[in-house]
A and B are shown apart, each in its own frame.
Chain A
C-alpha cells in the first residue's frame, strides 16, 4: 500500500492512449480475419481440388483453421499425404 502511494506520487501518468491503441489493434486484427463458415468451406474445397491433382490425401485427417495472434493471421492447413501421384504430362 505504501509503495502504491509512492508510485502514485512519483511515477508520471503514462496515459491510456497506448493502451487503447494496443487493444484496438489486437481486436481489429481478429475482427478483420474473421471468415464466415461458408467462405472457409468453399476455400477448403478449392484448395483440396488443386492439391489432389498432385498428391493423394488422407481425407479422414485433414485440418483447416484460421488462427490469429498479436502479430498475424494465418490459414493453417494440415493435409496428410498418402502418396505422390505421377505427373500426367511427363
Chain B
C-alpha cells in the first residue's frame, strides 16, 4: 500500500508544484515506485515542470468518464522509470472532479506504488478538499513571508480537522543573507510559529527557474545544485532517514568564500 501524501500550501506561488516534481523524482531515484497526481484541474503545471507536457494524451478526467483506462492516462518518465504522472485536465474547472472521484483514482493506484504525491491547487475551496481527501499525510510548503505563513497556518488547521496528523513543514525560497541581516524570518522562526516538524529547507536560487525552463527537475542534475541537494535530503527524511539540515548560511558568503571552499574543502567555510 502506498503512502499517500498531499503537497499543499494555501497560498499560490510558494513552490508546491516544484516541490512535488522534485520530491517525486528523488523518491523514484531512491528506488520507490512513485506516482504524482496533479490535482490542480484547469491550471495544470506539474507536466511542465517534469518536461512531460508533450506526452499528455489522456487525463484523470477521461479515466473517470470511462473514455480510457487508467494505464493509458499514466505517463511513465523515460529518464526515471520509477516515476509516473497522472495529469489533470486543463480545459475544465476545479469542480469537474469530486472528492469521491479523487479517492477512486487513488484507490485504483494505491497497490502499484510505494508513494503517491498529490499536487494540491492553491486556495482552500473544493479543489483543496478534493486533493487532501485521499491523503493520510501532508507536506505544507511555505516561504518565510507573512502571507505565506499565515495561509500555511490556516491549511494546517484544516488538515488537522480532517484527521491528517502527519504533517511536515517545507520552508522554500529561504534567503540566508536576508536572515542574517535580520530582514527575513529564519527557519526556526517559521517552525516556532507553525509548530509542526520540519522536513526540508530549500534556499532561493536562480537554478530553480532554469530547471523549470527546461522541464528537468533539479534532482536530475549530474552535479547537484544546493536546492537539488536540499530536495534530495527532504526525500530521504520523508523515507525516514535522519539527515542533518544544510548550513545554508555558509554556502552564501560570496564568490571568494565559495572559491576557497572549492579548493580547500568544506572545512574552510
Q: Which residues of A contact B (CB under 8 A)?
A: 13-18, 20-21, 23-25, 27-28, 31-32
Q: Which of A14, A20, A28, A31 contacts B185 (CB 8 A)?
A: A20
Inter-chain contact A27/B150, CB cutoff 8 Å: yes
Find chain B residues with CB under 8 A from A18 CB. Answer: 182
Inter-chain contact A15/B181, CB cutoff 8 Å: yes
The 7 A-B pairs with the shortest beta carbon distances in the complex, nearest first, are: A15-B182, A17-B182, A15-B183, A16-B183, A20-B146, A24-B146, A28-B153
Find chain B residues with CB under 8 A from A13 CB. Answer: 181
Cα separation A13 to B189 with both chains bound (whole Å): 20
The secondary-structure label for the interface of chain A is helix
Find chain B residues with CB under 8 A from A23 CB. Answer: 146
B156 to chain A minimum Cβ distance, whole angstroms, is 10
Q: Which of A17, A31, A32 contacts B189 (CB 8 A)?
A: A17
Cα separation A31 to B149 with both chains bound (whole Å): 12
Q: Which of B153, B184, B185 contacts A32 (CB 8 A)?
A: B153
Find chain A residues with CB under 8 A from B189 CB. Answer: 17, 21
Task: Pick 21 A–B contacts, CB within 8 A, sort by A.
Answer: A13-B181, A15-B181, A15-B182, A15-B183, A16-B183, A17-B182, A17-B184, A17-B189, A18-B182, A20-B145, A21-B185, A21-B193, A23-B146, A24-B193, A25-B193, A28-B150, A28-B153, A31-B150, A31-B154, A32-B153, A32-B157
Restricting to B181-197, which residues have a CB under 8 Å from any CB of A? 181-186, 189, 193
The secondary-structure label for the interface of chain B is helix
Find chain A residues with CB under 8 A from B179 CB. Answer: 17
Residue in A closest to B151 when the chains form the complex, CB atoms: A31
Find chain A residues with CB under 8 A from B184 CB. Answer: 17
Find chain A residues with CB under 8 A from B181 CB. Answer: 13, 15
Residue from the set A18, A25, A28 with the largest chain B CB neighbour count within 10 Å: A28
Cα separation A24 to B150 with both chains bound (whole Å): 7
Cα separation A9 to B131 with both chains bound (whole Å): 52
Find chain B residues with CB under 8 A from A15 CB. Answer: 181-183
Q: Which of A16, A25, A32 contacts B182 (CB 8 A)?
A: A16
Cα separation A13 to B182 with both chains bound (whole Å): 9
Residue in A closest to B153 when the chains form the complex, CB atoms: A28
Find chain B residues with CB under 8 A from A16 CB. Answer: 182-183
Cα separation A18 to B154 with both chains bound (whole Å): 22
Find chain B residues with CB under 8 A from A21 CB. Answer: 185, 189, 193
